[in-house]
Amino acid sequence: MDESMSPKQIKQMIAMLKQMLPEDNEEVVEEEPVKESPIKNRASRRPQQTENKFDSMMEAHLHKEDIEIDKKLKKFDPTPRIRRFDPINVSCRVCGKTESINPALLQDTPERYKCNNCARSAG
């Protein structure tokens, strides 16, 4: 307690605190604080799925009606998403395994190629 308080002030404070207490006939329920786990559930870290409001808008279906204008303005056929390649045979410089791969996977020369198994291993 603070020593600067007079006995009269202390009695007033006790009286105020007593008024805040429940009556004797009322049951006092003590609420235990909810402990939060330091490790949260993995699902709570995932972004919540929200409704895509664009699907219900008029603009979502406008492009379907543009078939005729697309045919008139088209200069080229659509480009295929998967580009074709001629595979090359290379040997892994660590284990010697020969594989047929996309040439785009080579960074330098075929002599420097390392297969996936050897690239994952330490060393």
- DSSP symbol at 82: S
Chain segment 46-78, per-residue pLDDT in tens: 667 788 887 788 877 777 677 777 778 777 777
User: What is the dihedral angle through the alpha carbons of 32, 38, 41, 44, rounded to the nearest 10 degrees?
Assistant: 90
Q: Are 90 and 98 in contact (CB under 8 A)?
A: yes
Arithmetic mean of pLDDT, 32-56? 69
Cβ burial, residue 113 (10 Å; 0-12/13-18/19+): buried
Token output for 10: 């202390």
**Is the separation of the CB atoms in 49 and 62 below 8 Å?**
no
Question: Has residue 92 been placed in a domain?
Answer: yes
Which residue bears the tokens 């490790």?
39
In which residue are the tokens 């005729």 written? Answer: 68
Of residues 68 and 37, the one with the higher pLDDT is 68
Tell me whether residue 71 is in a domain.
no
Residue 114 lies in a domain: yes
Other beta carbons within 10 angstroms of residue 90's beta carbon come to 21
* Number of structural domains found in the chain: 1
Q: Residue 9 pLDDT more than 80?
A: yes
Q: Is residue 50 part of a domain?
A: no
**Does any domain span residue 6?**
no
Range of the domain at 106: 88-120
- Model confidence at 91: pLDDT above 80: yes
